[in-house]
Amino acid sequence: MTEAANVPEGLVIEGRYRIVHRIAEGGMATVYQAVDERLDRTVAIKIMHTQLAQGPLRDQFVERFRREAKSAAAIANPHIVQVYDTGEFNGLDYLVMEYVHGVNLRHEMNTQRTFTVRETLRILSETLDGLSAAHRVGVVHRDIKPENILLNDRGRVQITDFGLAKAASQATLSATGMLLGTAAYLAPEMIQDNQATPQGDLYSIGITAWEMLAGFVPFQSDNPVTLVFKHVHEDVPSLSDSCPGLHPDVAAFIAHLTARAVDARPADATAALQELRALTASLPISAWQYRKSTDGDQATANETTQPPLPPLDPPAPATEPIATASARPSADAATDTIAKPSPDAELAATAEFRPDATQPIAKADAAGDAATQTIPAVPSTPTQAIPQTGVLPDGQFDDAQTADAVADTDADTGTRHTKRTVAVVAIILFALAAIGGGVFAWWYYLGPGSYWTMPQPNDISCTEGRDCPITDADWADYESTLKVAGIPYTTDEDYSDTVAEGDIISAHLTADGSADPLDVGDRINRRDGSQITVTVSKGVRQATIPDDILDPNSANAADPLKALKDAGFDNVTHDEDNDQYSDTLPAGVALTISPDPGTTLDHNAEVTVTLSKGPAPVDMPNIIGSTRDEAEAALAELRLIANVTEEFSDSVPSGQVISASADSGAQLHWGDTVDVVVSKGPQTAAVPSGLVGKQESDVTKTLEDLGFKVETNRILGGLFGTVRDVQYDGESISNGADVRLRDKDGNATVITLTVV
């Protein structure tokens, strides 16, 4: 442990910076959290290691240490960690820097392994923005790597460690021959030619982005020499090979940053940032959501794992099998057996009723006409009369005595007996026919022949004394049951969250428009045209998340919660805790959707949405009296846009802010424009040459036309009216001198003429 690493907590450096605790220790310095007691703010202090400060290369390391302070201090950008102060403590140089709440990108890469295109390009954009500010002032970082890219607690990028930075015109890797920087991210020209360029920073950030998307760096080796050899002699592999499904424009942009030849890369970070903005403007939504799986090399963006489809059902037989009464239990004997007439009718008639009273009997007329006549099935006329007492069925007598008596009877008596017998038989037959017809009429119009009974499905159990609905019965099986029972039906389909696809939701009568569900055992009238409608489940209703819901220019993006509801989703959760401010997306536009857009799922599945809160509110800083650079930096830090104009001012020194369109403390938002007026100093005018020797009136007119106030000092009454001297503020004015037109109070400057 070095001396720098043993600085005790509570120690106050330079009577100002109180050490709180150690944050981290690197190869060159130890970083502490401290409190600036003068300004009452938390800062980070980097203190050089003792062995470096006292070693043979002290001057080089001290120079690098101080260069970091100068380089970072020269850059005004919210994505650069600011350096506030520098000094020496017990012979050790130290830097006082902005304290960043958060982690470095390496920590996030170790945690997440891979990033989405959206997150990668966001971090890349903010890093390029910071580097562009450095490149504009001629500073090359030379050590861009994940460890030097900090992510604050708002997820924003801040670049640190400008210890290797140098002016681009002087930049070489090291005057001592040491190879500084991290080998995995070094540009080929930095290794081969010992030259650091803005394009070298782009190469390093390109390798970082390559690693964020792929999960590993493009060149890997345990030997640093082998690693740098690969950078010099091999092209960076195409990112598409390691990230199948990555949008080709993204891979092409990374390839442009990591081109082996310096001239094949963008000129600097500003050019790269412009190229990135053009890319993001045309990138489709699906490309933004790409993320390489951490379980393999397959992309996970816009993929929904679907279970394998079940095998197709076997084809139905060409003809329906005939079900018999014994094949299944029956709810009512009337539907399975033949109704029988009363015992009295059976005595009177020998004909049987037809099994189905509704079936007509077709009978040809006597003339043999092709027309048929439909009549109800009724008992046929008996073919045999019941014999009278003493008369055998074949017409013979039962004993000889009777036969003799009959033989002795005259013909008239025999005729009367015959007529009486026929009449009695006819009456009996008529009575039996009437009884049979009544029994049939009861069975057909009032009895079991007048209705169907709702049968019980084979896969439903019923409890006696309770209603037994047919919900959840398999429709394919129950349809066969209805056909065997002869019950007319129609089908309807509907979605159901509780009934499986292909099962019955309910059945109801359709003749009277009733929606009351039918239960097992309910009666259905045969005579009024009644039929049942069976509603079959189509399963849970599906809905699809709109593909363009993350496109801020689409109608669905304007109100994503309504768009999801209109798409059919009933369980949409707005994750308000994760809503974020955005300087690019208006309030209410979706930031993230889970699952991804384009996914089809159950309508009641949870869909989680986070929304943009729009540009964040910020308080206008007090920039009056600040220099132009200070004002622009203060506004840029709050993501405000400065519109600077210049005016002459008699009271405000040149280069300082005269006024701003927003008062100090006024609430603005990211992206708002603030008009800033900067002083050009007092307005001046050149006093013309050759005024001495001219007449007072001519000189006075010339000076007053320029805006000066003229006072005259006449010698001997100014008899000749000739100007002998021209003075300002007690001093003679040389020919062509610039003189301010007004004093600090705005009064015209007084020019004094001496006239003789």
Write the DSSP string, 82-94: -EEEEEEETTEEE
Q: Are 474 and 502 in contact (CB under 8 A)?
A: yes
Instruction: Calculate the alpha carbon distances from 193 to 162, 186, 213, 225, 536 in Å.
Output: 21, 12, 29, 15, 77
Q: Nearest Cα to 141, choosing from 120, 177, 168?
A: 168
Which backbone phi and psi does 4 adopt, to 5 degrees? -65, -30
Query: Cα(251)–Cα(283) distance, rounded to whole angstroms?
Result: 12
What 8-state DSSP symbol labels residue 461? -
Domain boundary among 260, 288, 316: 288
Residue 319 located in a structural domain? no
The predicted pLDDT at position 640 comes to 92
Alpha helices in 668-754 (DSSP H): 696-706
CA torsion angle for 198, 201, 206, 208 (degrees, to 10)? -170
Tokens of 421: 């017998």
Query: Cα(149)–Cα(201) distance, rounded to whole angstroms?
Result: 13
| Stretch (H or E) spanning 592 | strand 590-594
Residue 328 located in a structural domain? no
Residue 546 located in a structural domain? yes
- 688-718 core/surface letters (b: 16 or more CB in 10 A; e: else): eeebbebebeebbebbeebebebeeeeeeeb
Q: Are 662 and 631 in contact (CB under 8 A)?
A: no
Is 632 strand, coil or helix?
helix
Residues belonging to the active site: 143
Same domain, 111 and 260: yes
Same domain, 206 and 165: yes
Give the other-Cβ count within 10 Å of 186's Cβ.
28
The predicted pLDDT at position 655 comes to 92
The predicted pLDDT at position 435 comes to 64
Which backbone phi and psi does 402 adopt, to 5 degrees? -65, -40
Sheet containing strand 489-494, edge to edge, reads: 489-494, 532-537, 504-509
Same domain, 219 and 355: no
Query: Cα(276)–Cα(124) distance, rounded to whole angstroms?
Result: 9
Alpha helices in 99-197 (DSSP H): 105-112, 117-136, 188-192
Q: Nearest Cα to 200, choosing from 265, 129, 105, 130?
A: 265
| Stretch (H or E) spanning 47 | strand 41-48
Cα R_g (the chain), whole angstroms: 52
Query: Cα(619)–Cα(638) distance, rounded to whole angstroms?
Result: 8
Rounded to 5°, the CA angle 464-467-473 comes to 100
If phi over 0 gives left and psi between -120 and 50 gives alpha, with beta otherwise, what is residue 254? alpha
Strand-pair partners of 44: 33, 97
Same domain, 210 and 135: yes
Same domain, 477 and 563: no
Tokens of 99: 């304290």
Domain boundary among 377, 412, 446: 446
3-state SS string for 287-323: HHCCEECCCCCCECCCCCCCCCCCCCCCCCCCCCCCC
The predicted pLDDT at position 52 comes to 61
Positions of the chain with pLDDT under 50? 1-4, 164-181, 296-413
Q: How many residues does the chain have?
A: 756
Same domain, 127 and 213: yes
Same domain, 373 and 441: yes
Residue 126 located in a structural domain? yes
- 81-117 core/surface letters (b: 16 or more CB in 10 A; e: else): bbbbbbeebeebbbbbbbbbebebbeebbeeeebbbb
Same domain, 131 and 259: yes
If phi over 0 gives left and psi between -120 and 50 gives alpha, with beta otherwise, what is residue 591? alpha
Residue 86 located in a structural domain? yes
Tokens of 360: 């007509």
Give the other-Cβ count within 10 Å of 247's Cβ.
19
Q: Nearest Cα to 150, choosing from 72, 215, 89, 93?
A: 72
The predicted pLDDT at position 438 comes to 61
Beta 723-728 vs 750-755: how paired, if at all? antiparallel
Query: Cα(160)–Cα(29) distance, rounded to whole angstroms?
Result: 14
CATH code, domain carrying 82? 3.30.200.20
Query: Cα(711)–Cα(754) distance, rounded to whole angstroms?
Result: 9
Same domain, 130 and 239: yes
Same domain, 348 and 491: no
Tokens of 366: 């006597």
Same domain, 157 and 262: yes
Q: Are 329 and 456 in contact (CB under 8 A)?
A: yes
Considering Cα of 514, then 518, then 522, then 525, what sign does the dihedral take? Answer: positive
Same domain, 689 and 745: yes
CATH code, domain carrying 712? 3.30.10.20
Residue 321 located in a structural domain? no
Report field, pTM of the whole predicted structure over 0.75: no
Q: Nearest Cα to 753, choosing from 685, 694, 693, 696?
A: 696
Q: Are 140 and 201 in contact (CB under 8 A)?
A: yes
Tally the domains of the chain.
7
595: cis peptide before it, omega within 30°? yes
The predicted pLDDT at position 33 comes to 93
Question: Domain containing 674: what range?
Answer: 617-679
Residue 318 located in a structural domain? no
Residue 317 located in a structural domain? no
Strand-pair partners of 394: none
Domain boundary among 288, 306, 325: 288
